[in-house]
């Protein structure tokens, strides 16, 4: 630093720094950066380091070997994916047509407010509510019985379907609102132009909207998937946490707070992050195969 300041000492250091965008205002970013490094980056790196230092201290990769050799542990990946992938796909497939309808509505506020409700109430409350509502004496089973759709109550809680439905209740609004923001971001004149040129609704969707939407839908899928993959309270409260809904976050939680093996817990958290990253990476990479460009249209 001293060598640099003697070389061109005609211009003060402060001015040279501010020419590069570094001045007192830039320093305002530092407290937040420090906080994030301390509470996010450091714990992550520490967890990564800790995962290679197993409790028994035998082997550096001992935790990972243990994870992939014990069915109780490695099966959680498949179980989590088996819940998260179908839920995300269904939520997204349902969200697209609904978003296209709602886009045409002038008064969307009531609907969006209703849909924001399950997101803000959170997974614990939804699990608690569904426990009664979906139960054998709940209103859903009673209604289905009343209309003769079923002959005896369907078991919807303490199994796979309880978790599945809770993820639909919290996940669909999230997916829908994201999709809606992408759909409304497309310039409506593009569709009108296609309609003027004689394109039917189906082909307008296929040739105009879909290519423009793919990047946004890929991101929506990733964000919704990551949420579903980290399902935790409803998998315990509404699912069968010892059986088919023993998801990976339950395994990590048990390792940390029931076995007090923070090292194994960190390893599971790292595996969890890696699986999420792999799926997200896969989706975003395949996005590159499609059109990427402005969705606003018109002249510059």
Partner 1 sequence: MTAIEGSADTSKVASSLAHRLWVTAVWTLVGLFIVNLIGMIATVITSSFASRWLQAWLPSGFTTKWYFSAWNEFQLDDVLLVTFQVVFAVVLLSGLFGVPAAYAMARREFPGKKFVMLLFLLPMLVPPITYGIPLATVLYKSGLGGTMAGVILANLVPTVPFVILIMIPFIEQIDPKIEAAARVFGAGTFRLFTMILLPLLLPGMLAALLLVLVRTIAMFELTFLVAGPTSQTLVVALYYAVFAAGVRAVQSIDAMAVIYMAVTVIWLVIALRYVNPAQIVTRGNQATAH
Q: Least distance to partner 1 from the beta carbon of 247, Å? A: 10
- Pick between residue 61 and residue 114 the one whose CB is nearest to partner 1: 114
Q: Locate tokens 């839908």: which residue?
A: 217
- Pick between residue 160 and residue 179 the one whose CB is nearest to partner 1: 179
CA distances from 36 to 27, 33, 151, 152, 244 (A): 15, 5, 55, 53, 36
Q: Least distance to partner 1 from the beta carbon of 12, Å? A: 18
Q: Least distance to partner 1 from the beta carbon of 22, Å? A: 5
CA neighbor of 190 nearest in space, from 295, 54, 86, 51: 295
Residue 295 in contact with residue 185, Cβ under 8 Å? yes
Residue 50 in contact with residue 262, Cβ under 8 Å? yes
Task: Report how far Cα 13 is from the mean position of its chain's Cα atoms.
Answer: 45
Q: Least distance to partner 1 from the beta carbon of 11, Å? A: 18
- Pick between residue 3 and residue 29 the one whose CB is nearest to partner 1: 29
Q: Least distance to partner 1 from the beta carbon of 270, Å? A: 8
- Pick between residue 95 and residue 208 the one whose CB is nearest to partner 1: 95
In DSSP notation, 141-199 reads: HHHHHHTTS-SS----SSSHHHHHHHHHHHHHHHHHHHHHHHHHTS-HHHHHHHHHTT-
Q: Least distance to partner 1 from the beta carbon of 42, Å? A: 7
- Pick between residue 62 and residue 166 the one whose CB is nearest to partner 1: 166
Q: Locate tokens 């109550």: which residue?
A: 153
- Pick between residue 53 and residue 190 the one whose CB is nearest to partner 1: 53
């Amino acid at each position: 630093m001293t060598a640099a300041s003697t070389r061109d000492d005609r211009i003060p250091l402060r001015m040279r720094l501010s020419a590069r965008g570094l001045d007192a205002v830039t320093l305002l970013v530092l407290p937040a950066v420090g906080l994030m490094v301390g509470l996010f980056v450091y714990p992550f790196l520490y967890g990564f380091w800790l995962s290679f230092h197993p409790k028994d201290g035998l082997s550096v990769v001992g935790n990972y070997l243990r994870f992939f050799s014990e069915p109780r542990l490695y099966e959680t990946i498949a179980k989590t994916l088996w819940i998260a992938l179908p839920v995300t796909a269904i939520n997204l497939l349902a969200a697209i047509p609904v978003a296209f309808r709602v886009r045409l509505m002038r008064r969307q506020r009531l609907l969006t407010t209703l849909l924001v409700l399950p997101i803000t109430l959170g997974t614990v409350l939804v699990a608690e509510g569904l426990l009664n509502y979906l139960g054998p004496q709940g209103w859903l089973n009673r209604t289905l019985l009343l209309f003769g759709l079923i002959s005896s109550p369907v078991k919807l809680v303490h199994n796979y379907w309880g978790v599945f439905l809770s993820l639909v209740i919290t996940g669909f609004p999230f997916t829908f609102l994201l999709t809606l923001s992408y759909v409304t971001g497309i310039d409506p004149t593009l569709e009108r132009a296609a309609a003027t040129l004689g394109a039917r609704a189906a082909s307008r969707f296929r040739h105009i909207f879909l290519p423009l939407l793919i990047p946004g839908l890929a991101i929506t899928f990733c964000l919704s998937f990551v949420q579903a993959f980290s399902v935790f309270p409803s998998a315990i409260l509404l699912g069968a946490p010892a059986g088919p809904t023993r998801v990976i976050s339950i395994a990590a939680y048990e390792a940390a707070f029931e076995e007090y093996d923070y090292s194994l817990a960190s390893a599971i958290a790292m595996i969890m992050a890696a699986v999420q990253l792999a799926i997200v990476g896969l989706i975003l990479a395949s996005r590159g195969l499609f059109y990427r460009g402005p969705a606003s249209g018109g002249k510059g």
